[in-house]
Amino acid sequence: MIQVSIIIPVYNEEESLPELTEWISRVVVKNKLTYEVIFINDGSSDSSWEVIQSLARENGHIKAVGFSRNYGKSAALDIGFSKAIGEVVITMDADLQDSPDEIPELYNMVVKGGFDIVSGWKRKRYDPFTKTIPSRFFNGVTRMISGIKLHDFNCGLKAYRNKVVKQIHIYGEMHRYIPLIAKWNGFSKIGEKAVEHRARKYGTTKFGLERFVHGFLDLISVSFVNRYKKKPMHFFGTLGTLSFLSGFLITCWLIFEKIYGLHKGIFVREITDQPLFFLSLVALIVGVQLFLTGFLAEMMTSTSTPKNDYNIDEELNFIN
Ligand code: UDP
Ligand code: MG
């Protein structure tokens, strides 16, 4: 086993790659760390893949996966996670905004400090405010939902114990919430390290405004779907019970009202003539339906096996 795997998702970053690779090699060699760098070309339309190919030819530590189209950063990380053989797995953006100088310390925090995850914290951030303000909001909400005290959930620079990355599966925009997913998978030693952040040197950001909408929707999936996916009945069953119970209570009330009316000689309309009767019917039926949906989801989870369905064009330097 080697000491560090460095996973780098790449989407149109041709200018940065040689400099980044050179910098990483310098740092790991100086610190005597055994390593591999795994580039995932996420369907770049520039010459990133050609650059990666030539880097991988020169240096056997450099491995690469080439997607046939753009699947997004989460998918790229997901494949990298499944390939990584290092004791510690470090993710890093390709655009030179993260500094490879942080690698040795991140490695030590996992190996010696006993952390499952160490998340980078861009304390002084070099991004436009259109990005830093929404990011503050997301971080606040995520902290509240998860109870994990991190300043910067979405920092691209993170280190993981190998076991952690083998257990989590991400897609969509879920890379923004990896610490939450890890926590729900039972990895609770989550630490933070203030890291140096730099302005983008080449190219532009790959995430437009839609990231806020997608990020928000994925926060919902991560917090609900991930929590309940192995026990969907807990979610649907609870809603179903509430609905059924309210229908039942309304029916009881209608029956009581009718009997009370008969007893006191007060005129009360027939139960089936009451507007509330329809509400109770709907609540009862919806309750049963939700229960059945829960059963169905439960049966599907117990029989399905998760799979990665990304189309890989080519792989470089992997031994098996
Ligand atoms: N990236 C990717 N697929 C995408 C978008 C981005 O692999 O669809 C990579 C990108 O090449 C970079 C990292 O994810 O290495 C972070 O992207 P970017 O720097 O654009 O994000 P920002 O720093 O603006 O949040
Ligand atoms: Mg960036």
Q: Look at residue 182 and tell me if it is in a domain.
A: yes
Q: Are 119 and 191 in contact (CB under 8 A)?
A: yes
Asked if residue 264 and residue 156 are part of one domain, the reply reads no
**Which of helix, strand or coil describes residue 314?**
strand
Q: What is the DSSP string of 214-263?
A: HHHHHHHIIIIIHHHTT-HHHHHHHHHHHHHHHHHHHHHHHHHHHHHHHH
Asked if residue 261 and residue 216 are part of one domain, the reply reads no
Instruction: Report residue 87 as tokens.
Output: 């004791």
Ion ligand 2 residue ranges (Cβ < 5 Å): 93, 95, 97
Asked if residue 92 and residue 23 are part of one domain, the reply reads yes
ipTM over 0.95: yes
Cα 100 from Cα 77, distance rounded (Å): 18
Asked if residue 119 and residue 24 are part of one domain, the reply reads yes
Ligand 1 center–CA 74 separation, angstroms:
10
Asked if residue 89 and residue 20 are part of one domain, the reply reads yes
Q: Are 10 and 17 in contact (CB under 8 A)?
A: yes
Domain-terminating residue out of 170, 198, 228: 228
Q: Look at residue 310 and tell me if it is in a domain.
A: no
> 171 is in which domain, residue-wise?
4-228
Asked if residue 248 and residue 139 are part of one domain, the reply reads no
**Ligand 1 atom with minimal separation from the 40 CA:** 7
Ligand 2 center–CA 97 separation, angstroms:
6
Instruction: Report residue 225 as tokens.
Output: 């779907």
CATH number, residue 142: 3.90.550.10
Q: How many CA atoms lie within 13 A of 85 on its CB side?
A: 11
Cross-strand pairs, 5? 36, 89
Q: Are 107 and 4 in contact (CB under 8 A)?
A: yes
Number of domains in the chain: 2
Q: Is 73 in the pocket of ligand 1 (CB under 6 A)?
A: yes
Per-residue pLDDT tens, the chain, 320 aa: give them.
Answer: 899 999 999 999 999 999 999 999 999 999 999 999 999 999 999 999 999 999 999 999 999 999 999 999 999 999 999 999 999 999 999 999 999 999 999 999 999 999 999 999 999 988 888 888 989 999 999 999 999 999 999 999 999 999 999 999 898 889 999 999 999 889 999 999 999 999 998 999 988 888 888 888 888 888 888 778 888 999 999 999 999 999 999 999 999 999 999 999 999 899 999 999 999 999 999 999 999 999 999 998 878 766 667 899 999 999 86
Find all residues with CB under 8 Å of 305, minimum gap 6, and list them.
none
At 306 the pLDDT is: 63
At 66 the pLDDT is: 97
Cα 187 from Cα 164, distance rounded (Å): 7
Asked if residue 33 and residue 153 are part of one domain, the reply reads yes
Asked if residue 88 and residue 143 are part of one domain, the reply reads yes
Ligand 2 center–CA 76 separation, angstroms:
15
Asked if residue 123 and residue 166 are part of one domain, the reply reads yes
Q: Look at residue 149 and tell me if it is in a domain.
A: yes
**Ligand 1 atom with minimal separation from the 71 CA:** 8
At 4 the pLDDT is: 98
The model's pTM is: 0.86
